[in-house]
Amino acid sequence: MSDLLKQFRDKIDAIDAQLLALVNERAKLAREIGHLKNDGVIYRPEREAQIIRRMQSENDGPLSAEAVSYIFRAVMSNCRALEKELAIAFLGPLGTYSEEAALKQFGEGRQAVVCASIDEVFRTVEAGQADYGIVPVENSTEGAVGITLDLLLGSALQVVGEVTLPVHHCLLSAQQDITQISHVFGHAQSLSQCHEWLNKILPNVEREAVISNARAAQMIHELVASQGTFAAAIASKRAAELFDLHILAENIEDDPKNTTRFLVLGSHAVAPSGQDKTSLVMSAHNKPGAVLQLLEPLSRHGVSMTKLESRPSRQNLWNYVFFVDIEGHQQAPNVQAALAELADRSTFLKVLGSYPTAII
């Protein structure tokens, strides 16, 4: 070993010893904080968001903002687990993008509660069988996830966070040769996010929608074990590892910026973090111009709208509800004033929750 290499490694060893002592000191403090939380609410998304934002803004590199976020999330996840190991429900099987979103938000220091459907994620958290749930709500290519919006309307759960996840699809198979593929399984949204690629590379291959991408990968794994298969799945790299499949192609999504937004569901309100969003659902009177008039207080109170999505109300034919995301926390005076006026003008208004805006 060269002298210089040894010198650098000795320095790294000394730094690691300091890091270890410091993270353990931090962990002890977090454990003490846990004892002070009389209300039993261990997870404080606003505080975690503040810490990551501060670390990112103080970061001089060479680590990227994303790396800093990853490291501090891992530290906090493990500190939090000393206070309580949270149970997090998400759409399974393991290897779904929902699981990736759960890992991004909560780190490894959590217990996974794998659910068979988005509906089950809601029910599991509502029944107290999980502390929090993660559900997809919209995709940059495919738009809203209708089932999530419909379930939010009727649920008493609150939105306590959002996670944005760049979604990069792979083509996975037990076969090594892409020309042998005769069938492709994937979630309906993923099949359509990759349809141009599929039209070009696998034009004559049959496509079949299944409940999730990870389920598609699991099916290939099961088919291989029972009878062998020339089928492939559209799923994540993580699913390839979990189900022991070859990656035949990467980044096959038609839009390289393809991103899915997930909501974190819980049963407690979240305090302001300084950079927050509020999600609401409401309905307007069924007359011309009603929606425009309904939303007017937002601009008057300087509240920006980041999303407006309409869904059939399911109560009366051609009646719609509107899902609206606005910037700011519901405790902020301008948001409070705007919400009070919206409540007066709408036939129905429900605040789904205020939460820290997603961090990369």
Ligand X SMILES: O=C(O)C(=O)C[C@]1(C(=O)O)C=C[C@@H](O)C=C1
Q: CB of 103: closest distance to ligand X in angstroms?
A: 16
Q: CB of 330: closest distance to ligand X in angstroms?
A: 20
- Residues 6+ away with beta carbon under 8 Å from 98: 90, 91, 92, 134, 135, 136, 212, 262
Residues that bind ligand X (CB under 6 A): 30, 33-34, 43-44, 47-48, 51, 76, 79-80, 83
**Interior/surface letters 282-306, b for 16+ CB within 10 angstroms, e for the rest:** bbbeeeeeebeebbebbeebebeee
- Which CB atom, from 44 or from 169, has the smaller least distance to ligand X? 44
- Which CB atom, from 80 or from 187, has the smaller least distance to ligand X? 80
Q: CB of 102: closest distance to ligand X in angstroms?
A: 15
- Which CB atom, from 63 or from 271, has the smaller least distance to ligand X? 271
- Which CB atom, from 88 or from 217, has the smaller least distance to ligand X? 88
Which of 210, 323, 330, 214 has the alpha carbon at shortest distance from 277? 330
> Residue 177 is which amino acid?
D
Q: CB of 107: closest distance to ligand X in angstroms?
A: 10
Q: How far apart are CA 119 and CA 96, in angstroms?
A: 16
- Which CB atom, from 34 or from 272, has the smaller least distance to ligand X? 34
Residue 350 class from Cβ within 10 Å (0-12 exposed, 13-18 middle, 19+ buried)?
A: middle
Q: Which residue is nearest to ligand X (CB)?
A: 79
Q: Is 87 helix (H, G, I), strand (E, B) or coil?
A: strand
Q: CB of 48: closest distance to ligand X in angstroms?
A: 5
Q: Which residues pair with 325 in a beta bridge?
A: 279, 307
**Catalytic positions:** 260, 262
